């Protein structure tokens, strides 16, 4: 019979998986654990996080001056080179979700 592992220890295992960069299968195999057990604890950990909680990634920003237009515009350029323009005052959360989707 397998040893019962306390919840805090499994939460740390799930967190270690998230930081590992490995697939769930690779992580479980490397640690001699059942894939289904790891999947269960990763699922529980993700559900316990606040909704919309994503790791913060800082990106380089280049500020350039431009001639004043009749309407102020914010331009975001993704690492892929895609450029998206928004009116100043556009919801920041919307811009962040769109830029994240473009980067994926």
Q: Do 61 and 97 share a structural domain?
A: yes
Q: Is residue 35 part of a domain?
A: yes
Asked whether residue 2 is assigned to any structural domain, the reply reads no
Residue 1 lies in a domain: no
> What is the Cα–Cα distance from 82 to 52, expressed in whole angstroms?
24
78-94 pLDDT per residue, tens: 777 778 888 877 888 88
Q: For residue 76, what are its two tokens? A: 């975001």
**Nearest C-alpha neighbor of 48 from the set 88, 8, 84:** 8
Query: Are 63 and 21 part of one and the same domain?
Result: no
Q: Identify whether 90 is part of a domain.
A: yes
Same domain for 102 and 67, yes or no, is: yes
pLDDT in tens, 43-64: 888 887 766 666 667 777 777 7
**Mean pLDDT across the stretch 10-27?**
88
31-48 per-position pLDDT tens digit = 999 999 999 988 888 887
Containing structural domain, residue 28: 7-48
Provide mean pLDDT across the span 8-22. 86
- Quick check: 43 and 54 in contact, CB under 8 A? no
Whether residues 26 and 63 share a domain: the answer is: no
Domain count across the chain: 2
Angle among Cα 78, 83, 86 to the nearest 5 degrees reads 110
The pLDDT of residue 72 is: 77
Same domain for 62 and 42, yes or no, is no
């Amino acid at each position: 019979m397998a040893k019962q592992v306390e919840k805090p220890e499994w939460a740390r295992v799930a967190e270690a998986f998230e930081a590992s960069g490995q697939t769930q299968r690779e992580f479980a195999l490397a640690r001699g654990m059942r894939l289904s057990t790891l999947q269960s604890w990763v699922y529980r950990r993700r559900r316990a996080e606040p909704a919309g909680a994503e790791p913060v990634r800082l990106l380089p920003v280049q500020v350039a001056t431009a001639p004043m237009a009749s309407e102020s515009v914010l331009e975001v350029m993704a690492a892929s080179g895609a450029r998206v323009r928004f009116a100043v005052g556009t919801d920041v959360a919307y811009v962040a979700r769109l830029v994240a989707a473009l980067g994926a």
